[in-house]
């Protein structure tokens, strides 16, 4: 879905879900309003996190907690 830039919402989408026999996933996609967040807890020994458009890999070893939330400052795009 396209989100209007003026909506004040942040859209997230997990692109490469791991579907294991013992563990599943609860968070696939959605929207966050200001003040809301998504918390991820790594169950992977050598996990990585990459934000689209940034291209920087962040190590997320087992037990790491990642909190994703909208920024205080809006994204400004000039075309």
Strand, coil or helix: what is 1?
coil
pLDDT of 38-55, one tens digit each? 898 888 899 888 877 667
For 12, the token pair is 């997230």
Can you tell me the distance from the alpha carbon of 35 to that of 32, in angstroms, rounded to the nearest whole number? 8
H-helix segments, 1-79? none
- Inter-residue contact 47 to 58 (CB < 8 Å): no
Which two tokens mark 10?
């942040």
Question: Which pLDDT band, with edges at 50, 70 and 90, does 65 fall under?
Answer: very high
Query: Model's pTM, two decimal places?
Result: 0.65
- Of 24, 11, 6, 26, which is closest to residue 69 (Cα–Cα)? 11
23-32 average pLDDT score: 78
């Amino acid at each position: 879905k396209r989100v209007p830039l003026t909506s004040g919402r942040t859209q997230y989408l997990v692109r490469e879900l791991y579907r294991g026999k013992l563990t599943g996933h609860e968070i696939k996609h959605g929207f966050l309003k200001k003040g809301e967040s998504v918390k991820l807890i790594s169950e992977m020994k050598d996990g990585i996190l990459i934000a689209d458009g940034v291209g920087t890999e962040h190590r997320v070893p087992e037990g790491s907690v990642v909190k994703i939330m909208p920024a205080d400052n809006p994204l400004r795009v000039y075309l």
